[in-house]
Amino acid sequence: MTDMPPSISCNSREPIEMVTSLIGNPFANFPVFTIDKPKQKVAPTRLFREDLLAYVENEIASLQKNWDGYGAHPIHPKVQKKLSDLIKSIPYPFWRSVSEDDITPNNSGTVSIEWQRAGMKIFLEIGSEYSTYFVKKSGVLIETNNNFLLDEYSTKTPFLIILNRYFLP
């Protein structure tokens, strides 16, 4: 009679261990390859705007004095409100290219948003009183405004016109 290998039961947790103990690991000498996928901005869904609002409320609003370790001011409550209102009022297509990385708290208590697409860049810094924006095309400044009102009393239409003019989705 020849020696038979032990039987392997499907209900056991040990079949792989038993096989590798009998024949060894057949893949031990194969190199291991990993593929690092580049970070891609996920196409937003209907919840995308809500995700940005949650980011503003949970992350940006929670920043305390000296949040950057260099004496940064907390984000002003008026700035938080303006940013939330802006996210709610600008049509969805303009948020497709914006991720949390594009909404940046600044050490002065303001918040910046960047839109970038095909050599075009629009930068908006929201302050407690005034906001600033500039538009660059292929690195060349083509428009700027340093005293832009963006609050509950003014319509968001002027900034939306800027987005439409230079950054139609």
Q: Which residue type, as a one-letter code, is found at position 167? A: F
- Please state, in angstroms and rounded to a whole number, the distance separating the CA atoms of residues 138 and 15: 61
Q: Quote the pTM value.
A: 0.66
Q: Are 138 and 166 in contact (CB under 8 A)?
A: no
Name the pLDDT band for 110 (thresholds 50, 70, 90).
very high
How does pLDDT run across 44-98, given as a tens digit for each residue? Answer: 434 477 788 888 888 888 899 998 889 999 999 999 988 888 888 887 777 777 8
Q: Are 107 and 113 in contact (CB under 8 A)?
A: no
Domain boundaries, the chain: 48-167
